[in-house]
């Protein structure tokens, strides 16, 4: 397969090999350059990392009408320079294709950027309170009645380990406002007493079957709401206005420009996300190619024809048609949640063998098989015909599958679809795939199922170690986040950040992909690599977040690499991410982001 022609970092052409790479590019690039009209923009004297089939490196690139018209040498680009051409001397800086984020939640991400966020930081109780108090102090005009909604709370990483928060914790804040703090994984809310009053939550509030309203010994709610229990609170949350949603979409796009993201998939699209990004598009302010995957509700899935009809209506309303230089909206994906999460308290990821439980005593743990495995949210006889109907109608499934059993069943469904539609070019993605049965690794390549991985989850940390190791046991834990095994099995891995589950930090995620080591600040417990899974070669990690994600979004013929004829979606970096020490990848700064030939972001001073 051509996309896999150069999987080893060692065959990336370094600077001394310019001649070879350039020769190849001129051959496949613009012919008779002198006959062409001048380019709008020429970038020269750079380290142009193309992500073409050979991972070629060039020196210069020319853009006309939003497309790349030349990739090659400083000498070869000269005929493209006319009187009106903007020529930029890159002084050796690295240029690469714009990043393509194959799984994120941009409206929530934008909200997290705008509002009060704890940024998933490991916090002590006093740091937790200080940060919330500073949000309150910065919005004193909202006293005493307006809600303060705090996001980005990573419950599992509070310091010291085992620290938690509830209404009693929040009582130390100087405010009369109702407060709700949301965990990064969406599974927990913590509210203060004022919030409980406003929501009318008391001892008498009934429990729910699909979650927990945590109570003290006397049955009084403690302010902690898990899973379905959160509805008691969310039901009274203020609904963001249209203006607020537009602000969220704009904030999301600003964050993406700064990170170098030129295309993204909204991996669980809501009508409010579609309408917000559509309004931003109509205002001419969309700065990344936007893809949407409306969620297919499990209760509707047994009627595939109706699912497809609803998707067609959404597409007719919002999809802006074939790709053009200016970024626009595509509705071609459909989201299917096969299961939930591996970590407690949810443990809703569907596994073949049970989650383990600790039957020991404090200080003397004794981990044994429990009786929970988690169950797939779709039965095979519902999922399989749904997949065929989607593929037939030209919609591309984006399946959330975290546990080995959910992944297996998702692969089975892709197989049924491939057999039913042998000639259809359907890009089937399986997002997360945190635990995969080793017998299934090679099915990804065989079935052309794209694992969409969040590399930062392969870092040792409270979530990846404390939330899984003992619960899965050593055999399964050894292959958690199996990027190394999937790479070895020739899977076409794409990257997805899952923002705002984590804060948007693509460069830190790429570093995690190639090191699988964590933040030294987290201490000895989280030192070293997560497990025996191998890190990805650097060139492959970059391919995952460019061309492979472009393939996932079915736009690889037009984006994802810097080749003649493709759209000019590219970024200029402050360092060469192929050459810097791996621990410096995370601090990469994007100096310029170009989408369809237009510069949408330029760092101060560049
Ligand atoms: Zn997600």
Interacting residues of 47 by C-beta distance below 8 A, sequence separation 6+: 15, 57, 59, 90, 92, 93, 94, 95, 576
Ligand 1 centroid – CA 350 distance (Å)? 16
Beta partners for 153? 183
Tokens of 287: 């700065």
What does the pLDDT look like over 246-302, one tens digit per residue?
Answer: 999 999 999 999 999 999 999 999 999 999 999 999 999 999 999 999 999 888 999
pTM exceeding 0.75: yes
Ligand 1 centroid – CA 103 distance (Å)? 6
Ligand 1 centroid – CA 186 distance (Å)? 10
Tokens of 77: 């680009």
Ligand 1 centroid – CA 494 distance (Å)? 14
Cα distance between residue 546 and residue 55, in whole Å:
12
pLDDT for 24 equals: 31
Ligand 1 centroid – CA 188 distance (Å)? 16
Q: What is the SS3 assignment for 338-397?
A: CCCCCCCCCCCCCCCCCCEEECCECCECCEEECCCCCCCCCCHHHHHHHHHHHHHCCCEE
Of 42-51, 189-198, 358-367, the one with minimum mean pLDDT is: 358-367
pLDDT for 36 equals: 55
Ligand 1 centroid – CA 99 distance (Å)? 18
pLDDT for 347 equals: 85
Class of domain 109-234 (CATH, top level):
alpha beta
Ligand 1 centroid – CA 105 distance (Å)? 6
- Range list for CATH 2.30.40.10 in the chain: 22-98+564-602
**Do residues 498 and 378 touch, judged by C-beta distance below 8 A?**
no
Ligand 1 centroid – CA 401 distance (Å)? 10
**Do residues 536 and 513 touch, judged by C-beta distance below 8 A?**
yes
Other CB atoms closer than 10 Å to residue 17's CB: what's the count?
Answer: 13
Instruction: Examine the pLDDT at 35 and tell me if it is beyond 90.
Output: no
Ligand 1 centroid – CA 127 distance (Å)? 28
Mean per-residue pLDDT, 3-11: 28
Instruction: Examine the pLDDT at 443 and tell me if it is beyond 60.
Output: yes
Ligand 1 centroid – CA 285 distance (Å)? 25
Instruction: Examine the pLDDT at 361 and tell me if it is beyond 80.
Output: yes
Question: What is the three-class DSSP state of 594?
Answer: strand
Ligand 1 centroid – CA 267 distance (Å)? 6
The beta strand positions in 128-240, using DSSP E, are: 148-153, 179-183, 188-191, 211-215, 221-227
Ligand 1 centroid – CA 382 distance (Å)? 22
Q: What percent of the chain has pLDDT over 70?
A: 94
What does the pLDDT look like over 392-404, one tens digit per residue?
Answer: 999 999 999 999 9
- Range list for CATH 3.10.310.70 in the chain: 109-234
**Does domain 22-98+564-602 match CATH 2.30.40.10?**
yes
pLDDT for 387 equals: 97
Ligand 1 centroid – CA 560 distance (Å)? 22
pLDDT for 135 equals: 96
Ligand 1 centroid – CA 498 distance (Å)? 5
Mean per-residue pLDDT, 566-583: 97
Ligand 1 centroid – CA 104 distance (Å)? 6
Interacting residues of 253 by C-beta distance below 8 A, sequence separation 6+: 106, 110, 280, 285, 286, 287, 288
Ligand 1 centroid – CA 192 distance (Å)? 28
| Helical ranges in 180-270 per DSSP H | 193-199, 231-234, 242-259
Instruction: Examine the pLDDT at 470 and tell me if it is beyond 60.
Output: yes
Ligand 1 centroid – CA 313 distance (Å)? 24
Relative to beta strand 221-227, strand 261-269 is unpaired
Instruction: Examine the pLDDT at 407 and tell me if it is beyond 50.
Output: yes
Tokens of 412: 């089975």
């Amino acid at each position: 397969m051509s996309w896999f022609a150069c999987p080893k970092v060692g065959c990336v052409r370094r600077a001394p090999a310019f001649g070879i790479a350039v020769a190849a590019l001129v051959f496949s690039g613009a012919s008779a350059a002198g006959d062409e009209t001048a380019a709008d923009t020429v970038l020269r004297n750079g380290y142009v990392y193309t992500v073409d089939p050979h991972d070629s490196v060039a020196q210069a690139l020319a853009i006309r009408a939003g497309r790349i018209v030349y990739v090659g040498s400083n000498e070869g680009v000269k005929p493209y320079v006319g009187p009106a051409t903007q020529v930029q001397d890159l002084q050796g800086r690295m240029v690469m294709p714009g990043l393509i984020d194959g799984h994120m939640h941009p409206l929530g991400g934008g909200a997290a950027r705008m509002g009060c966020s704890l940024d998933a930081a490991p916090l002590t109780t006093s740091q937790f309170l200080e940060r919330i108090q500073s949000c309150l102090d910065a919005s004193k005009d909202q006293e005493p009645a307006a809600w303060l909604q705090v996001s980005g709370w990573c419950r599992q990483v509070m310091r010291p380990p085992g620290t938690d928060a509830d209404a009693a914790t929040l009582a130390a804040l100087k405010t009369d406002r109702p407060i709700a703090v949301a965990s990064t994984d969406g599974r927990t809310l913590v509210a203060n007493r004022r919030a409980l009053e406003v929501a009318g939550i008391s001892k008498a509030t009934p429990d729910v079957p699909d979650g927990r309203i945590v109570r003290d010994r006397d049955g009084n709610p403690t302010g902690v709401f898990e899973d379905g229990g959160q509805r008691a609170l969310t039901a009274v949350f203020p609904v963001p206005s249209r203006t607020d949603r537009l602000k969220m979409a704009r904030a999301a796009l600003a964050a993406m420009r700064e990170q170098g993201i030129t295309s993204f998939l909204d991996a669980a699209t809501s009508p409010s996300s579609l309408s917000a990004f559509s309004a931003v598009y109509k205002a001419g302010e969309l700065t990344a190619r936007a893809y949407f995957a409306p969620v297919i509700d499990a209760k509707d899935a047994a009627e595939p024809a109706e699912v497809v009809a609803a998707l067609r209506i959404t597409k007719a309303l919002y999809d802006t048609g074939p790709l053009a230089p200016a970024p626009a909206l595509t509705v071609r994906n459909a989201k299917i949640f096969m299961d939930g999460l591996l970590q407690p308290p949810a443990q809703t990821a569907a596994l073949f063998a049970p989650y383990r439980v600790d039957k020991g005593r404090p200080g003397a743990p004794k981990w044994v098989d429990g009786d929970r495995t988690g169950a797939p949210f779709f039965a095979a006889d519902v999922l399989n015909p749904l997949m065929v109907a989607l593929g037939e109608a030209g919609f591309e499934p984006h399946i959330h599958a975290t546990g080995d059993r959910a992944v297996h069943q998702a692969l089975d469904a892709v197989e049924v679809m491939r057999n039913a539609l042998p000639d259809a070019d359907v890009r089937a993605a399986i997002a997360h795939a945190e635990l995969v049965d080793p017998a299934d690794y090679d099915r990804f390549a065989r079935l052309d199922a794209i694992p969409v991985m969040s590399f930062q989850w392969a870092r040792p940390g409270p979530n990846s170690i404390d939330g899984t190791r003992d619960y899965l046991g050593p055999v399964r834990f050894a292959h958690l986040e199996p990027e190394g095994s999937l790479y070895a099995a020739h899977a076409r891995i794409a990257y997805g950040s899952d923002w705002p589950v984590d804060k948007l930090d693509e460069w830190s995620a790429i570093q995690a992909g190639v090191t699988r080591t964590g933040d030294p600040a987290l201490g000895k417990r989280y030192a070293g690599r997560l497990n025996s899974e191998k890190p990805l070669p650097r060139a492959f990690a970059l391919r995952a977040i460019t061309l492979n994600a472009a393939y996932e979004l079915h736009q690889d013929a037009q984006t994802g690499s810097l080749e003649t004829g493709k759209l000019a979606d590219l970024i200029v970096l402050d360092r060469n991410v192929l050459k810097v020490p791996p621990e410096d990848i995370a601090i990469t700064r994007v100096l310029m982001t170009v989408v369809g030939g237009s510069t949408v972001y330029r760092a101060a001073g560049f």
